[in-house]
Amino acid sequence: MSLNNLLERNKDDIVKQWLVSVIDTYPADTSKFIKNQKDPFANPVGNTLSVNLGPLFDELLNEMDYKAITSYLDPILRVRAVQPILSSSQSIGFIFLLKKAIRRSLKKELSDKNILKELLHFESKIDELTLIAFDVYLKCREQIYEIKSNEVRNRTFRAFERAGLLTEISAEEPSL
């Protein structure tokens, strides 16, 4: 049996383990809330993870379509990019937890050298996914910094305007 067949057969278990591992990257009380709260509006983090990790795993099993991958990574990384409790490496590092989930799920099968060789190739796809995630995460952070910069500029402009320190420049040329 090939690794892809094993991964397909154990997909639900692997994705579930991956989800639990990702949720466990949060502080204990946050992790408990994410695991227990099923309402997607009350728990956008848990909902985003549970909706996107499965399809992301499917992309690893298949062609690794860049557009599809970024469409699944983007919501996850948007949420993680705005969370001050996570460093940049923690925000992206959740992808590496998939390797552990696979190894735990396929522990017996990994004694086969051919399966192990295929796993090494599959793990390189996970590494490639991490690089894509890094690009997506950086775009999210750039948007955050741009929003913050615009807000500071607008606040400063309004303060100057209220203080009467701004005047409009005439469109006419000055007379000499």
Q: Tokens 């998939």 identify what position?
A: 98
For residue 165, the model assigns a pLDDT of: 78
Q: What is the signed CA dihedral for 43, 95, 128, 62, rounded to 10 degrees?
A: -70
Helices (H) and strands (E) in the chain, counts: 8, 0
Q: Using an 8 Å Cβ cutoff, are 49 and 76 in contact? A: yes
For residue 175, the model assigns a pLDDT of: 64
Question: Cα(114)–Cα(3) distance, rounded to whole angstroms?
Answer: 9
Question: Cα(79)–Cα(44) distance, rounded to whole angstroms?
Answer: 8
The CB-based long-range contact list for 117-121 (8 Å cut-off, 24+ gap) reads 118/2, 118/3, 118/4, 119/3
Total residues belonging to the chain: 176
Rg of the chain taking only CA atoms, in angstroms: 23
Which residues in the chain land under pLDDT 50?
none
pTM: 0.83
Burial of 174 (0-12, 13-18, 19+ CB in 10 A): exposed
**25-62 pLDDT, tens digit each:** 999 999 999 999 989 899 999 999 999 999 999 999 99
